[in-house]
Amino acid sequence: MASLHTSFLNFSLSSFVLLLLSCSWYKVSWAHDGETVEIAVHSLLPETNCIPSSKGFDNHPSGKLQLVDVNGPCSPLETTPSLEEILHQDQLRVRSIHSMINKHVRDSKAKIPTRFGLPFKTKNYVVNIGVGTPNQNLWVTMDTGSSLSWILCKTCPNCRGLPFSPSQSSSYSNIACGSADCSQAYSATHHSPACRDACIYQTQYADSDYSVGFFARETLRLTPSDVFPGFKLGCGHDVKLRDSTSGILGLGSHPASLVYQTATKFGKVFSYCLPSSTNSNGFLAFGNQTGSTSPAVRYIRLILNPQNPDLYYVPLNGISLNGRRLAIPASTFSAHGTVIDSGTIVSYLPPSAYIILRNAFRAAMSGYPSATPPRGGVYDTCYDLSRNRTVTIPSIKLNFGGGIDLLLDQYSGVITNVGSYKFCLAFSANDDEEETTIIGSIQQKTYEVIYDVPRGRLGFRSVGATCN
């Protein structure tokens, strides 16, 4: 099936990178920076068949793992969440991110002990890893919003994923109670110490899923050439996990994170490309993969907050629509910060900023029939494009400091398909003006997003819909 994907990367008015991956008979007109582009409505419809392109993953490139959308047709796992359920999960994740942040704010202001916000769980992108000796292969969720990695170690009534069997592995060992390694598990999961012959970790999620088990050392194999003996991870014996994965790979910036545990080899640099066409796969890469021939990477500041090592912050200060900066004061974003997250789907803005963006978007889309938004309240600006052959979607840019802008992909960064020919603006409003802005996964598509932790910068490289 021919499809058309467009991707833009633009960091200044003078630079303009355009990647047109495949083009069928559709007539397409391109315009200059900030102007709009007419695209065939048909090309916006999601693919329903998996046409996997292995992109050299069979050769197991060093430091590079195939990343698969767990809800897409290429998913290796049995998953049938409805759109409503996916959006509900997204809201739970956003609420738990906010409660985690606000917990620290409240603590530092009032010094009143408050309950920790529950960690948040992503359910969107999975990678296949090898654990143990001999190697057992497991599908786990990649999560930039948590640090402790854990795997399912037992079949359980409340989970469906394939478990790892520690008894079949010669390299498995539990971590002792009271050790420095053990306290790392407590601080990574914000949990009080627990011990049952060996160190116990516990992690609980906002959607009432949880994982409890031994904190252990085991050999982790990311690729055949990237093997890490003695990797510290949770071995879950009492787990409630709604999806069919076997656990979580934590990429936060706490010392327990994979990013820190593999620092000697990969220098705390990792990147991902989220698959934006459902018939293609993305990647999760470790270390500096930037060859001399690859297109330019543009960097913005990556801000780590020691109080919240599970969150990566960026300096968003404005939004432009069709090349015009919207009248949102930079302080709207800077007052409570902006988190970039791979596990939240939609971007969530302070309500005052969202309304300005939404109104400008609606004005630009006034020529199209509106549609009833899906239930759940995530979206409120939707269109029925079933009777339009082409559509001109307004261009949206996220403005960061220093004149750096990120032009969102018009195919997958601005609107999202919510069933048949219905599309919604892929942004939402936070419940409260005081809550942190979140840049979700939709807006990161068609880019390789590079987390360079030691240099405190986040890179964007335009890679198009197929993550090449």
Interface residues with ligand NAG (CB under 6 A) are 269, 288, 290, 367-369, 387-388, 450, 452
- 364 with 394: CB under 8 angstroms? yes
Q: Closest separation between CB of residue 409 and ligand NAG, Å?
A: 21
Q: Closest separation between CB of residue 227 and ligand NAG, Å?
A: 22
Amino acid at 394: P
Alpha carbon distance 258, 152 (integer Å): 17
Nearer to ligand NAG by Cβ, of 193 and 369: the residue is 369
Catalytic residue among 207, 209, 341, 409: 341
Alpha carbon distance 36, 376 (integer Å): 30
- 10 with 369: CB under 8 angstroms? no
Alpha carbon distance 340, 425 (integer Å): 19
Cis peptide before 134 (omega within 30 of 0): yes
The residues near 240 (Cβ < 8 Å, ≥ 6 apart) are: 156, 158, 159, 208, 209, 210, 211
Q: Closest separation between CB of residue 32 and ligand NAG, Å?
A: 21
Nearer to ligand NAG by Cβ, of 15 and 307: the residue is 15
DSSP H helical ranges for 204-262:
258-261
Q: Closest separation between CB of residue 438 and ligand NAG, Å?
A: 24
Q: Is 217 exposed, middle or buried (0-12, 13-18, 19+ CB in 10 A)?
A: middle
Nearer to ligand NAG by Cβ, of 209 and 452: the residue is 452
Q: Closest separation between CB of residue 459 and ligand NAG, Å?
A: 6
The residues near 61 (Cβ < 8 Å, ≥ 6 apart) are: 223
Nearer to ligand NAG by Cβ, of 187 and 388: the residue is 388
Examine the residue annotation and report whether 143 is marked as an active-site residue of this protein: yes
Phi, psi (rounded to 5 degrees) for 241: -140, 115
> What pairing do the DSSP bridges indicate for beta strands 427-429 and 347-349?
parallel
Nearer to ligand NAG by Cβ, of 269 and 356: the residue is 269
Residues with active-site annotation: 143, 341
